Structure 1
Amino acid sequence: MSVQYVDSCRLPTRLGEFTMHGFNEIQGDKEHIILTYGDISPNEPLLIRLHSECLTGDSLFSMRCDCGYQLETAMAEIVKAGKGALLYLRQEGRGIGLINKIRAYHLQDNGADTVEANEQLGFAADLRQFDMCKPMLEHFGVSRVRLMTNNPRKVKSLQDVGVDVVEQVSLQVGRNQHNDEYLNTKAEKMGHMFFQGSLNDLG
């Protein structure tokens, strides 16, 4: 998947001042951004987060998932590290879109787990793609990263397109009574790692 760089601007936030860089998919209608902080050096592994859009968690403060918590923590960790990047990818609801996400939530209200809900709607558990991340990172000369994630699929997806993931950094935040079963399902059915692990643990 190819993307085209569009433009950049300052993005002052309550966590620190980032620079926001916009990208368009060359084939498709999706727009993605990278938030960078500090001086990005291609000579050392960069702390990054791949964050898929989650309107409910990121903007509406939903407690049904851990997305909003992870977004805020990842940005804070990048500031703490002095440099880093957050790739914000337009892939709502693991790729099924916002309206289908509402339908999936309704099914979850009636007892389905997050994987079962997607499957009952005729979707795979996770439709997201991460191919666009390599050219977005290459725009900054970045080829080696420390990836903040609990999801082994993100690690493998970057490795498969030639990005060197030198470390997986756990990002365990936001567990509460409303998302406890959701997080357990991600661990049990999707292989998410809720511990500080090494790439050797991925198999």
Structure 2
Amino acid sequence: MFYDAVRNDHGLAQDPFKAIVAPRPIAWISTLSPAGVANLAPYSFFNAFAQAPHYVAFGSGPPKDSLRNIEATGEFAVNFVTWDLREGMNATSAHVVADEFELAGLAKAPCRLIKAPRVAASPACLECRLYRIIPLPDDDGKAEDNMVIGRVIGIHIADRYIADGRVDTAAMQLIARLGYSEYVTVGSAWRMRRPD
């Protein structure tokens, strides 16, 4: 099968794009509004893009509270979602005007270098300072989607996932997004060394 991605003429019942660009890690973005209201929302267009210094980016559709808060404060936290946190993550995907931590029954923990809270039960969290927001225009030049790039300035890792000087990522049971309403859980890891 081949289809023109601009015309999106795939002929399938649903767009297959997200089903083939998978699995995608989920950035559970926590922010704080200028008025001090916490916000928490999952974003599956997310990944890391540089190692030294560390940069991450996530895609945000039409402006939401997360994006407005980041624009106003210049900071955000990326929390990682586990199997045990899946229902809370799903609850925070609702479009509501409320503190999503409270809505989903999630405990907050303080960040060290930014004001936004983090998800206390998450096994890892990246504290980020906004680097840039890049509008992503459509064919008509309208940009409802944005790429938010953040520089990681602090990292939290739950001690129970560190063994022999390494992070045991598989033990965290992180979940990632596939296409449609499907997810996958990281349950095992294997190694392959580069030839050089």
Common topology (TM > 0.5): no
Larger Rg, first or second structure (1 or 2): 2
TM-score (norm 2): 0.29
Query: Whose strand proportion is higher, 1 or 2?
Result: 2
